[in-house]
């Protein structure tokens, strides 16, 4: 991996060109060779792809032209922020899939008419609590957050990593969605069972990262995420 510093002509670069990946982390911009891993086909990935395919079919076969035009206008009115911090307008179908992908995570049916807004409350704080409880002691993982409970119609999404080396700091590619709470979840949110089902339990001394986001069920808006980490303590 080569670290780089951009000059006056090119300020930043992201994504891949000609087998080279441009990105940045805490320490600045870097370049690395693109590696194409074997495409895994987990049940979760298959489900997500099927959901996107179904939404694409609905866009062409179920929605009317008036509804599709409404989504195009919605996309123009509510642009997203890209990796450079620039405001970018999606296409109508991309906006339709973006809203309804989040609603699918919440177990809700798709919206065929665009929502009135994309308002969502973001978490103010996030903390991962790892402890040993009970007799014999069992590992417990809970996520504390504020505001608590989550605002009206908001669900708590918890993304997490498997147990990692305590020296790890850059973990964006390791985060996986492991749990979505009911609406109005109070803190702390116990993720022990969900975490164990996805990763198994981490070992003593390993570092676990989480990211907490709020999702508004009304409009399919997803908040920014807040990260936290904790190291698995020894059992007393």
Q: Which of 163, 159, 171 is nearest to 123 (CA)?
A: 159
The residue-averaged pLDDT of 24-46 equals: 61
The residue-averaged pLDDT of 207-233 equals: 96
Tell whether the model's pLDDT for residue 96 goes beyond 90: yes
The residue-averaged pLDDT of 164-179 equals: 93
Tell whether the model's pLDDT for residue 36 goes beyond 80: no
Distance between CA atoms of 220 and 101, rounded to whole angstroms? 8
- Place 53 in a pLDDT band, splitting at 50, 70 and 90: confident
Share of the chain above pLDDT 70, in %: 80
What helix, strand, coil percent values describe the chain, rounded to 5?
25, 30, 45
* Cα→Cα distances 202→79, 137, 197, Å: 39, 14, 12
Q: Which of 140, 113, 142, 107 is nearest to 127 (CA)?
A: 142
The residue-averaged pLDDT of 200-224 equals: 96
Tell whether the model's pLDDT for residue 94 goes beyond 80: yes
Tell whether the model's pLDDT for residue 147 goes beyond 90: yes
Q: Quick: pLDDT tens for 55-82.
A: 899 999 999 999 999 999 999 999 988 7
Specify whether the CB–CB gap between 208 and 141 falls below 8 A. Answer: yes
For residue 124, the model assigns a pLDDT of 97
Tell whether the model's pLDDT for residue 4 goes beyond 60: no
- Place 27 in a pLDDT band, splitting at 50, 70 and 90: very low
pTM: 0.80
Q: Residues 6 or more apart from 117 whose CB is under 8 A from it?
A: 78, 219
For residue 202, the model assigns a pLDDT of 95
Tell whether the model's pLDDT for residue 221 goes beyond 60: yes
For residue 97, the model assigns a pLDDT of 94
Distance between CA atoms of 82 and 89, rounded to whole angstroms? 10
The residue-averaged pLDDT of 193-222 equals: 96
């Amino acid at each position: 991996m080569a670290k780089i510093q951009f000059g006056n002509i090119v300020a930043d670069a992201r994504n891949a060109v000609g087998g080279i990946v441009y990105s940045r982390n805490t320490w600045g911009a870097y370049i690395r060779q693109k590696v194409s891993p074997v495409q895994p086909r987990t049940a979760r990935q298959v489900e997500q792809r099927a959901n996107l395919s179904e939404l694409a079919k609905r866009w062409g076969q179920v929605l009317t032209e008036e509804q599709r035009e409404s989504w195009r206008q919605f996309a123009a009115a509510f642009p997203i922020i890209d990796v450079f911090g620039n405001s970018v307008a999606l296409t109508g179908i991309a906006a339709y899939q973006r809203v309804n992908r989040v609603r699918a995570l919440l177990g809700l049916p798709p919206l065929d008419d665009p929502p009135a807004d994309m308002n969502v409350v973001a978490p103010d704080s996030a903390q991962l609590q790892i402890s040993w409880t009970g007799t014999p002691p069992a590992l417990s993982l809970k996520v504390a957050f504020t505001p608590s409970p989550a605002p009206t119609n908001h669900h708590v999404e918890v993304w997490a990593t498997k147990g990692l080396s305590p020296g790890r700091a850059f973990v964006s590619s390791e985060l996986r969605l492991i749990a979505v709470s009911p609406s109005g979840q109070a803190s702390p949110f116990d993720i022990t069972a969900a975490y164990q089902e996805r990763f198994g339990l981490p070992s003593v001394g390993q570092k676990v990262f989480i990211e907490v986001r709020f999702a508004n069920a009304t409009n399919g808006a997803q908040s920014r995420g807040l990260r936290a980490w904790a190291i698995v303590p020894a059992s007393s």
